[in-house]
Amino acid sequence: MGNCRSQTNSSLHPDICKDHGENVNHNFNGSMGSSTHCRRGSETSSLISHETHYSDPYKPLQALRFSSGKQASYKKFVFLILGTGESGKTTIMKQMRYLHGKPLSDDEKAFYAVHVRSNIFVAMCQLCNLIDVSDLAKDELEAYEEFIEVYEELRSQVKQKSITGISDNYESSDVEKIEFVNKVTHPEVPRRVNANAVFFMQRWKILNMLWKSSAVQHAWIYDRSKMNVIDSHFSFLNRMEEIAQPEYVITTQDFLLARIITTSPRKECYCMEKEKCQFEFIDVGGQRAHRRTWEKYLHRGKASEVDAILFVAALSDYDQSLSETKNEKDNRMIESLALFKSILEYEGFVDKRIPIMLFLNKKDVFRKKMITSPIYCQSQFKDYRGKDFDDGVNYFMSKFRHEASTLGHKRDIYVQTTTATDTEYMRVVMDSVQKMVLDHNVRVNLGWSISLDES
């Protein structure tokens, strides 16, 4: 299993990853419409202008083709996606777009490319907070010192709203600087995120050198949870040279892995001909500051419009603290368990037997992490006595079931371990989820009895 490691942070530069500004509430023009109706064929609608649908253009969709008058005759099912921040809710929404929508436009690809580059910058800032500089070789130490120097200059320029992220040490004319900035940034991206991307493009070689150093690799393997480094960004960090190329275009996997914090609700809607129904998915922000938007969908009046809840909890969160509090005592898994119980208790749902789909997500990350960061080493889970992956999954599954069992009212709860970034796997899972909701609707309409599902 491995030994419990000290939680000491040896950061020599505590402010290096402040103000990285991954938050965004973007609104595209042109291709990013705000239509609230299902379109013909594969052009299913984007109900919130933040994000349009994305599908594989080489695979035919089984989406409904109908006139606007026929739309009203189809049963509408609303899925509310809830969970803590960074649990994978938005990734599920992206998968639904990929499977049932239209391709990303060139403008959207450019938008996500900026975020991918910013994600790398933020991850390296976090990792450099975890290293002991005495472990760096001479050339690595020089790279680290250059990183710190240029980063401080970048922070100053961003605050002064000067040319985004361009260091005075960058040898180029002003015209070339502006052309460079325009090429690697996006007008709909926040200034800080653009600055991060520009910094990465300028200094990716020193970042790559630091990433390959034994000190940073050690921090990644053993200590990344202390700074909540996003595990899936390993793919980006390993491909810096490719991503730093001016002609870089995001892949489908990059689109799924790119981190953009959800700050306001997003909706996806598509229609199925065989079932004669519409499916609407609503994703709301998971961090504490954004949960106030949940009230719109959870109060008694609106709850009657919700047909199922997808609650997403990341299995890999057991050794991480909340990003929004920076308090080691605020364990993400404990927060997820408490939030899950509060949803079950919410007055809008107590008297309406809405099925709950519990997604224990990031099982791929969890499988690897539990080897180097034992579950029992976390103070909140010292009672863990398992030995392998299945034991770990069952342990946390029992925690969620315990929260449900303490409530007096009956509830359909379906539990599924997931990897939201695996498209083919999520295709099967989401098809099953839709079938469950349809079956549930039939049982309720026929007055069949319903009990807590232990599957």
Residue-wise pLDDT tens digits, 249-299: 999 999 999 998 776 778 888 777 777 788 888 887 656 666 666 666 665
What is d(CA 71, CA 276) in angstroms, rounded to the nearest whole number? 9
pLDDT reported for residue 287: 63
Length of the chain in residues, anyone? Answer: 455
The token pair that represents 30 in the structure block: 């042109």
Residue found by looking up tokens 């991850």 in the block: 123
pLDDT reported for residue 120: 97
With bands split at pLDDT 50, 70 and 90, how would you rate the model's confidence at 381? very high
User: Would the pLDDT of 12 be above 60?
Assistant: no
pTM of the model: 0.78
CB burial readout 238-277, b (16+ within 10 A) else e = ebbeebbeeebebeeebbbbbbbbbbebbbbbbbbeeeeb
What is d(CA 203, CA 390) in angstroms, rounded to the nearest whole number? 42
User: Would the pLDDT of 240 be above 80?
Assistant: yes
User: Would the pLDDT of 374 be above 50?
Assistant: yes
Alpha carbon 327 to its chain centroid, in Å, reads 21
Residue 100 belongs to what H/E stretch? helix 89-100
With a CB cutoff of 8 Å and minimum separation 6, the contacts of 306 are: 78, 79, 80, 297, 349, 354
What is d(CA 307, CA 445) in angstroms, rounded to the nearest whole number? 13
User: Would the pLDDT of 349 be above 80?
Assistant: no
Torsion, Cα of 203, 205, 206, 211 (10° steps): 120
DSSP track, 290-321: GGGGGHHHHSHHHHTT--EEEEEEEGGGGG-B
Indicate the range of 74-78, 312-316, 422-426 predicted with least confidence: 74-78
What is d(CA 419, CA 264) in angstroms, rounded to the nearest whole number? 24
pLDDT reported for residue 272: 74
**Under a CB-based contact definition with an 8 Å cutoff, are residues 80 and 308 in contact?**
yes
Average pLDDT, the chain: 77
What is d(CA 85, CA 285) in angstroms, rounded to the nearest whole number? 7
What is d(CA 105, CA 54) in angstroms, rounded to the nearest whole number? 9
What is d(CA 444, CA 354) in angstroms, rounded to the nearest whole number? 10
User: Would the pLDDT of 174 be above 80?
Assistant: no
Burial class of residue 69, CB neighbours in 10 A (0-12, 13-18, 19+)? exposed
Find the mean pLDDT for residues 362-366: 96
The token pair that represents 16 in the structure block: 């290096």
Task: Give Cα separations from 431 to 16, 272, 427 (angstroms).
Answer: 44, 11, 6
φ and ψ at residue 397, rounded to 5 degrees: -60, -40
Task: Count the neighbouring beta carbons within 10 Å of the beta carbon of residue 3.
Answer: 7
pLDDT reported for residue 6: 53
Pairing mode, strands 277-283 and 266-272: antiparallel
pLDDT reported for residue 48: 20
pLDDT reported for residue 350: 61
- Pick 424 or 29 by higher pLDDT: 424
Indicate the range of 212-221, 252-261, 322-331, 440-449 predicted with least confidence: 440-449
**323: DSSP letter:** T
Residue 338 belongs to what H/E stretch? helix 332-345
Tell me the per-residue pLDDT of 140-150, one tens digit each, with 9 for 90 and over.
Answer: 999 999 998 88
With bands split at pLDDT 50, 70 and 90, how would you rate the model's confidence at 428? very high
**Under a CB-based contact definition with an 8 Å cutoff, are residues 420 and 88 in contact?**
yes
CA-based nearest residue to 326, from 44, 4, 26, 15: 15
